[in-house]
């Protein structure tokens, strides 16, 4: 984990977000998003968000592990969806997931991996 004052809280919040993502992917309601948007775009944006989130919590050197972990999470969701009566597994969903993950990885490498530390520095006054 990066040297963060509230690293465990960021990690816990990320876990909660993953659970929310899983529950929404398995929900019988077709979309919990109030706007009409292409399903593949939602997949890509969701996994981009997850990659940026965890890229801000963990050091850049573990980003390949995050890629593998989030790709596995996407596969897990698709497998579970294949067992639900209202959802179905789609290979193109996995492609969109991976696209979002890779864009998130690129953004993390470009400097967005410091978002968490930057936010903490704004919210928590530094002791002199």
Model confidence pTM above 0.75: yes
Tokens 């490498």 belong to 109
pLDDT band at residue 33 under the 50/70/90 scheme: low
Tokens coding 20 = 């929310």
What are 91-103's pLDDT values in tens digits?
999 999 999 999 9
Give the orientation angle of helix 39-57 with respect to helix 91-109, to 10 degrees.
40
Domain ranges of the chain: 7-123
Residue pLDDT, tens place only, 69-92: 999 999 999 999 999 998 889 999
């Amino acid at each position: 984990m990066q040297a963060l004052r509230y690293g465990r809280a960021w990690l816990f919040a990320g876990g909660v977000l993953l659970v929310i993502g899983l529950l929404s992917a398995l929900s019988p309601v077709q979309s919990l998003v109030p706007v009409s948007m292409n399903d593949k775009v939602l997949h890509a944006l969701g996994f981009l968000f997850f990659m940026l989130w965890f890229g801000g919590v963990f050091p850049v050197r573990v980003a390949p592990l995050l890629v593998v972990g989030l790709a596995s999470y996407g596969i897990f969701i698709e497998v579970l969806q294949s067992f639900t009566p209202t959802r179905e597994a789609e290979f193109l969903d996995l492609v969109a997931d991976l696209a979002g993950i890779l864009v998130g990885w690129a953004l993390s490498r470009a400097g967005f991996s410091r978002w968490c530390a930057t936010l903490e520095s704004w919210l928590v006054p530094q002791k002199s």
